[in-house]
Structure 1
Amino acid sequence: LRQEAETSLHLALRLIAENKFEKARKVFEHALTLDPYNSEILIEYGQFLEHHHNDLIRAENLYTRALVKQPINARALELKKRTSPLVEEIDQKHFILIDNLLQELYRIPDTNPHLRRAKRDAYYLHIYHSNAIEGNTLNLRETRHIVETRMAIGGKSLIEQQEVLGLDLALQYVNSTLVNRLGSITQQDIFDIHRRVLGFVDPVEAGHLRKHQVYVGSFVPPSAVEVQNYLDDFLVWLNSLEDTRDLHAIELAAIAHYKFVYIHPFIDGNG
């Protein structure tokens, strides 16, 4: 596969020279599929996206991936050093826009019927998409029906319906107990959330750290004996204002999610 990936890389570079940019993009994607950690492919594709698609964000991500594989790669270091401040500037503009929209939202009275309906709709959408990304096949209407009525839908997977109920319980728990407790999250809080997420589906494993190795595609999370130490470090970081106070809420959520999923402390229900 590596040889085929390198052949695809050379083809993509030739297509660029011939101004066949869309074909080059498809060949780059094919090359990455064949060899996703090839630093040369990552760097060349990043430069292509930067110069021909003006996609700084994806390009910087590719340079970062190249450095994960080869931390001292001079080209990747130079490219990331140049693009990271530009991506940070883009991020900050988005954060300012989001914060301004949030302030406008806060000006709307909680009693406003349109706001209340929008909140309900957003809540159901969150449950639906969170489950759908894990393979749950229930549609939005069915998801809403289960949350509102607590009644099963005939002909549909009982486990999938239990996943909806579990996530609903977990979100209610977070919204009622943890939403204003940033800086004092405990391991028991994590267990309590997980027990609600997975309690209907797998009550034996719900709220308990995994006891054996798991695999997520080609990614191998820490061994079971390492999970507790990783989780301890995660909670220290999450609760440390010194480490997190300069992060926007969206940045904090994204980094926390990445760290937690990397640990993969449970058999299922980590995402």
Structure 2
Amino acid sequence: MFLYSLISYTHILKHPPVWPDEAIYAEMAQHLIASNSLKTNLWGETIPHMTTQAMFYPPLLIYLVAGVQLLFGVSIEAQRMLAVIFGLVIVLVLLPLKYKSSSARIGLYSLLPSLLFITNVQALRISRFTRPEVFVIAIGLLALICVHRALNSSSRHSTRLLFLAGLAAGAACIVHQMGSIYVVSIATSLLILRSRIRPVQAFSILGGFLSATGLWLYNIVIHWDIFSTSYQTWICWENTNHSMVFN
């Protein structure tokens, strides 16, 4: 933990340099604070409706950045410290919090996931700037931990843990669409272990997921035309950029 914190603090503004996405998130957070709307002027008219309602952007990361701005003002250092904190969550989740084996060798091996994260250049890089990856990984790992503990807990605690797992998996999805990987992983695991899952537990995890995503999904449904137009244009724009890079 100390090593991770030291490395992150030393390089927080040096590597990587300020990323364009960080400016977009910061500007959207400012609009959220000022007018309670998710929008950005930095895209101009490249993508329809972005200057009035950026609906296809999953909103949770913008709300987190807005919270940082309310507390510390508009600051790239504070914004990146938010990412560092979520990186620290990953380190803590990977640590063997309940290590009971008497074997020193197994104890050393159990530290490897955290050590690999701390010493991996790309992992440290994503945990130092405000892009969705580190947030999705941290929240998704919490969801997986909740599922694991639920399957090894008493009936009462397992229902609560599965609700928290659904809540965390939903939160990962409204940070970025890649959070759906955790939803698929959890759903597959529960399907394989369906003989151990009672209906109330299944409804519990579904309730947690909908509690996290329901409002955003409802907003998309009632403004479907705006969402679909913006999203399709963004997909075409992304595909064009990737084609230019690889060609």
TM-score range (shorter-chain normalised) is under 0.3
Rg (Cα) greater in structure: 1
Higher relative contact order (CA 8 A, sep 6+): 2
TM-score by length of 1: 0.24
TM-score by length of 2: 0.26
